[in-house]
Chain A
Amino acid sequence: MAFAAFSTSTTAPEPAPRRKSPIALLLLLPGILYLVLFFLAPLVSLLLTSFQAPSEFGDVGQYSYAFRWENYVDVITAYWPHIMRSFGYALIATVLALVFSYPLAYFIGVKARPWPLLQSLMLVLVIAPFFISFLLRTLAWKQLLSDESFVITSLKALSLLAPDAHFTGTAFAVIFGLTYNFIPFMTLPLYTTLERLDLRYLEAGSDLYARPFDVFRKITIPLSMPGIVAGTLLTFIPAAGDYINASRDFLGGPDTQMIGNVIEANFLVLQNYPAAAALSIILMSVILVIVSIYVKRSGTEELL
């Protein structure tokens, strides 16, 4: 299962004890109940909704159960640019977050090892943005980067930016927002793997004629794969479905709408529930397929 990538344990799972304890089942019950109620039931409901057809004599927004698979064809033809854009933005944001986070995590987890206090301090700084709401932080960026903001006016005054240039409402701003918001999700799993990285492997690599870059490429990267996989999944999955950053109320514009925004609009504004449900199912399936292939390909099973 793809989500095994989130586990941080290094050892293979131990074989489950053979005797069945009623207490273990009892302890599992709340979790199972929760999943059935709040995951399985909504999922089934969503799936059923996605095949609904408009009620024959009903008002706008009234639907009845049917097997209208054409819903899927309709949404794909109508919204395929949004779908492509979502995964494109998510991919770019994930790569950027990885590029920013890896050196940071490497510094905290490897270079700062002799100073545990510095390590803790830097980790707190990475987590600190979580103390403020996701919405507020994104809104703050909108303020900072709006056309009348100090940053943009200064850049324009210095002729570093064309006088009619905008920042908010562009694809650049959306990707910037996604990258910024998901950097902690990338940094933390990377840190946990790099913190446990045995430096003796790096010494052995250097002893075997590997230049620093080769040591990094052939030893450090493969050994930190579990962190890279976990971090990219934690960034890519929510980023692909995100509708805050791309929203017109935040950093996005009419041309930067992602699939999340479309689903939101269909559910809340257009009241086209089957279309919204079908899009949700498509989003979920595509992510599941991408993630499965990714985890399989990255070959981290042995390192997890």
Chain B
Amino acid sequence: MNSGEFASAGADLELVGIQKRFPGFTAIEHLDLKIPAGSFFALLGPSGCGKTTTLRLVAGLEEPTNGRILIGGTDVTNQKSFQRPVNTVFQSYALFPHMTVLENVAFGLRRRRIDDPVAKAHEALRLVELDHLAARRPQQLSGGQQQRVALARAIVNRPALLLLDEPLGALDLKLRRQMQLELKTIQEEVGLTFLHVTHDQEEAMTMADTVAVMNKGRIEQMGAPEELYELPRTAFVANFLGQSNLFTGPVVGSTSEAISVDVAGQKVVVPAARAHRHIGEVTIGVRPEKLTLHVTEPVGDVARNLMGPGRVIDVSFSGVSTQYLVEIAGIGTLIVFAQNMAFGPVAHEGSEVWLSWNIEHGFGLEDDASAEPRFEADDTTRSIATQKRSSLLTELEGA
């Protein structure tokens, strides 16, 4: 990058056929990605999925085994990290302990011999509201303040591309919310391209314009947050981004508009446009908040799928909504989120219920249903909580 001048605007990032192998394992299988200039892009995935490696490749801290990296149309694959118009907010912040906050922020400006680094550093610190602490050392600041210094140190350089490596991971919930808001505001103000790596699906969805869900070194699905949520393509996305009720069964009938699937003897209809596979064994699903709970058997409706009867095995009240776990013979446990429109829960543990949902809300996955029969829902903590609760109840009854 030419010294002495700022990037005029955010640049787009293009990864072409990127592969990264480390001795003994492959971190990134094959990655093609294009991030348009000025967008807030989130790379979402569980730990070990290759998202941090992707970020380090873009920053120039790792070299790809294969493939090319283009920033603003320029091939930077062979450039060293100090030559790339990219700055990173590291997960550990990596603030230099031997410099003051101000010197930390001015570091990049001084290296590029930009005029008046001190004034520009003060300006960046004012943006993150920490100018009054400019003379302190990083270790004298709290975690949230350090995070803001790290952010100021990166954005002061006006990089064409800003990389964020789970920068909010170490913060508590309240501070994280505040930071998310600030980051989003700053991104809109300065118009940079942000590439944000995170494992927090909520963070990715609230902040990013585009989310790419990454798993085992590949991008499973990419799109706007609502699109990913409403129409997940794979079981992994369906469960990593929020929760899902998934069923498998053979397709028994199909028209140009919809397919019907036999799920353990119950017929479920999914719009053809929302299903990726139209023949054979398929996996279909529906989001828990789309389900309606009925305490009496509802009358049949062609616009709705009906399932039941089932038995409520757990009710947990969380203020805004109530979560029910409903066990249906032959199918398994389904999760239902119901808005608390009435006072208290409408069904109780052990009561018999039916579930229905608008057929428009169903989705069909791309996954091979026979290869991956049923994705294990991430409900370990929930089952522990359920157990704890039932044991407490019996204890109370015994007393």
Task: Determine if B264 is an interface residue (Cβ-Cβ < 8 Å).
Answer: no
Any A CB within 8 A of the CB of B6: no
Please, which residues of chain B bring their CB within 8 A of the CB of A219?
96
A198 to B138, CA, bound (A): 15
Between A and B, 29 residue pairs with Cβ closer than 8 Å are A198-B94, A200-B90, A200-B92, A200-B94, A203-B94, A204-B94, A205-B96, A206-B60, A206-B61, A206-B80, A206-B81, A206-B82, A207-B59, A207-B81, A207-B86, A207-B87, A208-B82, A208-B108, A208-B153, A209-B82, A210-B82, A210-B111, A211-B82, A211-B111, A212-B82, A218-B107, A219-B96, A222-B98, A302-B97
Which residue in chain A gives the minimum CB-CB distance to B94? A204
- Residues B90 and A205 in contact, CB atoms below 8 Å apart: no
- Given A206-B81, A206-B82; 5 other pairs, CB 8 A cutoff: A198-B94, A200-B94, A208-B153, A209-B1, A223-B98
Residues of A contacting B3 in the complex (Cβ-Cβ under 8 angstroms)? 209
Say if the beta carbon of A249 comes within 8 Å of chain B. no
**Residue from B80, B87, B92 in contact with A208 in the complex, judged by beta carbons closer than 8 Å:** B87
Distance, CA A211 to CA B83, complexed state (A) = 8
Tally A-B pairs: CB < 8 A: 63
Evaluate contact between A208 and B61: CB separation under 8 angstroms. no
CA distance A214 to B96 in the complex (A): 14
Cα distance A225–B80 in the bound complex, in angstroms = 27
Q: How large, as a class, is the contact surface on chain A?
A: 20 to 34
Residues of A within 8 A of B39 (CB): none
Q: Which residues of B contact A (CB under 8 A)?
A: 1, 3, 59-61, 80-82, 86-88, 90, 92, 94-98, 107-108, 111-112, 137, 153, 157
Nearest-Cβ distance from residue A216 to partner chain B, whole angstroms: 12
Interfacial chain B residues near A204, Cβ < 8 Å:
88, 90, 94-96
Name the B residues within 8 Å of A198 (CB-CB): 94
Task: Assess the A201–B96 pair: CB atoms within 8 A.
Answer: yes
Contact indicator per residue, chain A 186-207, by CB within 8 Å of chain B (1) or not (0): 0000000000001011011111
Give A contacts to B, CB under 8 Å.
198, 200-201, 203-212, 214, 218-219, 222-223, 225, 302-303
Instruction: List chain A residues, Cβ under 8 A from B81.
Output: 203, 206-207
Complex Cα spacing A212 to B80, Å: 10
Assess whether B97 is in contact with A303, with CB atoms less than 8 Å apart: yes
| Minimum CB–CB distance for A99 against chain B, Å | 22
B88 touches A207 (CB 8 A): yes
Known: A200-B90, A200-B92, A210-B82. A205 touches B97 (CB 8 A): no
The interface residues of chain A lying within 8 Å CB-to-CB of B60 are: 206-207
Is A208 within 8 A of B111, CB to CB?
yes
Among B92, B95, B107, B137, the one with the most A-chain Cβ atoms within 10 Å of its Cβ is B107
Q: Nearest A residue to B137 by beta-carbon distance? A: A302
Q: Which residue of B lies closest to A222 (CB)?
A: B98
A222 to chain B, nearest CB (A): 4
